[in-house]
Amino acid sequence: MASKTYSYLADVYNDMMRFIDYRTWAKYIIVLSRLTGNKNKSALEIAGGSGTLAKLLYNRFSFYVLSDLSSEMLANSSPVVKNKISCSFYNLPFKKKFNFVFSTFDSVNYILTKKNFVLMLEEVANILEDDGVFTFDVSLERNSLKHLKNLNRQGEVNGIKYFQKSIYNPKTRIHTNRFDIILADGEKVQEIHKQRVYLFNDYFQMIDKSDFYVYGCYKTFSFDDADESAERAQFILKKRKPNAHI
């Protein structure tokens, strides 16, 4: 039977991501955070996983909170990141508002329905200061098609073996990753991850239904405008003024 996502996978996640240039990613996030005009204020990272970026970013803000649905992922984050909370981005349990909220590595593609996407946006809008910025990256179809082969891989870390099988269905636009994991004691477990590859324009429609507007939408790691041919797009959202729904 399939286990909860990012439970067993948490112990091999950092190994799977070992070639990812999180330092460059952190620099990009810092530049985006300055769009608030409020340098070094409070930041909330949602779906922050095992906190690799949090470790690089927590001391660049006066207050930093790392959050993720998976307590197993958070448990593997660095102890230098003090404020961590396990919560869903559909239900953010904060009384305090933040100047900057962000999510990385196509975590929002885990949202499988448009209704839930708008729900996530509303939840973030509730805990973001009126002049704050919310930014997230999304994986587009070109990314799914181009990297499918590389996502069929296997590895081993600390006696745990993992095998990833990746399938993209262009009809349903669901990208499925199946992880078969053999734990150090020989037990076999499985996680099935489903992500939805929305059309580029879907994002604009969903954002239109929320209290946000698109301040910028770039090819990830750049400031060049993205379009539907991009592999990944970085959305930068700001809050509309009250009653400014178009």
178-to-4, 81, 86, 168, 220 alpha-carbon distances in Å: 12, 30, 24, 11, 26
Shortest distance in whole angstroms from residue 246 CB to ligand SAM: 28
- 41 burial (CB, 10 Å; 0-12 / 13-18 / 19+) is middle
Task: Indicate the residue among 70 and 234 with the shorter CB distance to ligand SAM.
Answer: 70
- 120 burial (CB, 10 Å; 0-12 / 13-18 / 19+) is buried
Question: By three-state DSSP, how is residue 241 classified?
Answer: coil
Shortest distance in whole angstroms from residue 228 CB to ligand SAM: 22
Q: Does 104 bind ligand SAM (CB under 6 A)?
A: yes
Bridge partners, 27 (sequence order): none
For CA atoms 228, 206, 47, 136, the dihedral sign is positive
Strands 160-169 and 212-219: unpaired
Tell me the residue type at 200.
F
CB 237 within 8 A of CB 223: no
Task: Indicate the residue among 90 and 204 with the shorter CB distance to ligand SAM.
Answer: 90
Shortest distance in whole angstroms from residue 159 CB to ligand SAM: 22
* Binder of ligand SAM out of 29, 43, 47, 56 (CB under 6 A): 47
Q: Does 235 bind ligand SAM (CB under 6 A)?
A: no
Shortest distance in whole angstroms from residue 196 CB to ligand SAM: 12
Task: Indicate the residue among 68 and 211 with the shorter CB distance to ligand SAM.
Answer: 68
Size of the site for ligand SAM (CB under 6 A): 19
Task: Indicate the residue among 60 and 240 with the shorter CB distance to ligand SAM.
Answer: 60
* Binder of ligand SAM out of 6, 98, 102, 198 (CB under 6 A): 6
Q: Which stretch binds ligand SAM (CB under 6 A): 46-54, 129-137, 139-147, 156-164?
A: 46-54
* Binder of ligand SAM out of 69, 138, 181, 207 (CB under 6 A): 69
The CA distance from 230 to 167, in Å, is 20
> By beta-carbon distance, which residue lies closest to ligand SAM?
49
Positions 146 through 165 that interact with ligand SAM (CB under 6 A): none
- 63 burial (CB, 10 Å; 0-12 / 13-18 / 19+) is middle
CB 72 within 8 A of CB 7: yes
Interacting residues toward ligand SAM by CB under 6 A: 6, 17, 46-49, 52-53, 68-70, 73, 88-90, 104-105, 107, 110
